[in-house]
Amino acid sequence: MIAASLGRMKRRGFFGQAPDPEPEAPAPAPNAKAVSTIAQPGGAETASNPASATPRRQGGSTPGLVSAHHRLYASLARGLPAPRVTPRTFSDLLKNVIWPIENALDSPMIEAAAQLSALEALEAGCTTVIDHHASPRAIEGSLTLIAKACTSVGVRVVCSYAASDLRSADNARLGLEESRRFIQSGGRGMIGIDSSATASPETIDLAIGMANELGVGIHAKVAEGIGDAGGGSDLVRRSKDSWVLAHGVHLPDGLEIAGTIAHCPRSNMDRGVGYGMPSRFGPRVALGTDGFGGDLLAEFRVAYGRLRERNVGTSPRLPWSWLEAGWLLVPEARQDRVHWSLADIEPEHLVSNTGIRPLTVIVAGRTVLENGRTTQIDAAEIRAKAAEQSRRLISRL
């Protein structure tokens, strides 16, 4: 079934765009409407070996890493004062920390957060982020702000607005329309659903219909908390090859999944939701950071540690394959190059070497990081701007 699914994704293009041949001319800008394709099963590439046709590790270099599930706005939320009520459960954390942050966001904050998050991703060798955004009081135009901010740094981004009925059904519709507007205006995106716990059945139906109409996938959180186990499973049963399904912690065994599970172990640990044992989902697993910066190698190490916690014989090549799965989602990232400070880029070396950093990063044919420094923007200026917007965010909470 997986092979057949991958074949359909190849023919259609992952985000609803028809496959293009390899470019002969200079590569396009990072967030141009270029296509994403999935490798044809039975050839050199497969779901379990997603990039064997492209050298994955050449000396001290790799392709650009991909964060399969990100929350770019989270970079402004560091160092926030403790909530008035100490969270005891995941539900408490949502109500007293996460949702208030999202409700406080405005356009200047969204832009500054996206730039800072893109910068930190680039500095960690991540050249592509698949973002799942939410700002209920600043929906219109938010995805365009995010895309422009990432492009200014030199990082690819796939945008979606996480539609939710938490505020109202009308607010959910605005979120869906923002994703539609962004995609129809030429942006690279998906239709976002926050989760089945926060989106009504009507909103979910509208989102799926819109995704089908536009020929793109759904990006949603599923079964992150135990309260979404039933609804998340129902949503997964409707999934298609082009969907990105974040977390899946409380999905039952044996559930047929058509999309890709985005495993975010650091976020799952921080929120106390448990461990999803993503290896049970087969090869359709990729790694995301869910707003914990853009360091995919850190995510890889934690994913490895959680696997070894249960089976000391687990090889680091399993969580490394989850990093490689990001190249199935956005194949252009395989053509990006990251030259690292470590000569031997092998999973066995990376699990215990925490000092590795990118020296040079090339995205879409452009050198966007050289000698560890950004070439398109002033990193200090971005950090100063983000610090100012973070103070504004804190003042609203």
Residues 325, 86: Cα–Cα separation, whole Å = 37
Which 3 state secondary structure label does DSSP give 274?
coil
pLDDT attached to residue 344: 86
Tokens of 160: 């979606």
CATH number among 3.40.50.970, 3.40.50.720, 1.10.10.10, 3.20.20.140, domain 2-15+54-396: 3.20.20.140
CA distance 354 to 348: 12
Distance of alpha carbon 301 from alpha carbon 351, whole angstroms: 5
The Cα–Cα gap between 18 and 181 comes to: 20
Average pLDDT, the chain: 88
Predicted local confidence at residue 49, as pLDDT: 34
29-52 mean pLDDT: 36
Asked whether residue 370 carries a pLDDT value surpassing 60, the answer given is yes
CA-CA distance, 257 to 15, in Å (whole number)? 18
Residue ranges of the alpha helices (H) in the chain? 2-12, 90-93, 99-104, 107-122, 142-153, 169-184, 201-214, 229-237, 265-270, 296-310, 317-324, 326-329, 347-350, 379-396
pLDDT score of 83: 85
Inter-residue contact 319 to 287 (CB < 8 Å) = yes
The residues pairing with 246 across neighbouring beta strands, listed in sequence order, are 221, 262
Is-contact 283 258, C-beta < 8 A? Answer: no
DSSP 133: B
**Mean pLDDT along residues 382-389:** 98
Q: What is the mean pLDDT of residues 149-161?
A: 99
- Mean pLDDT across 140-169: 98
| Residue 237, helix vs strand vs coil | helix
Alpha-carbon distance of 183 to 177, in angstroms, equals 10
Answer whether 397's CB lies under 8 Å from 80's CB.
Answer: yes
The residues near 312 (Cβ < 8 Å, ≥ 6 apart) are none
* Separation CA 156–CA 100 (nearest Å): 28
How buried is 146 (Cβ within 10 angstroms: 0-12 exposed, 13-18 middle, 19+ buried)? buried
- H runs (alpha helix) in 271-378: 296-310, 317-324, 326-329, 347-350
pLDDT in tens, 277-307: 999 998 999 999 999 999 999 999 999 999 9
Q: Do residues 29 and 364 touch, judged by C-beta distance below 8 A? A: yes
Length of the chain: 397
User: What is the structure's pLDDT at 260?
Assistant: 97
Burial tier of 228 (Cβ tally within 10 Å: 0-12, 13-18, 19+): buried
Asked whether the predicted pLDDT for residue 125 surpasses 80, the reply is: yes
CA distance 84 to 96: 8
Quote the tokens at residue 106: 């405005």
Do residues 145 and 110 touch, judged by C-beta distance below 8 A? yes
**Rg of the chain taking only CA atoms, in angstroms:** 19
pTM of the full predicted structure?
0.86
End-to-end CA distance of the chain: 48
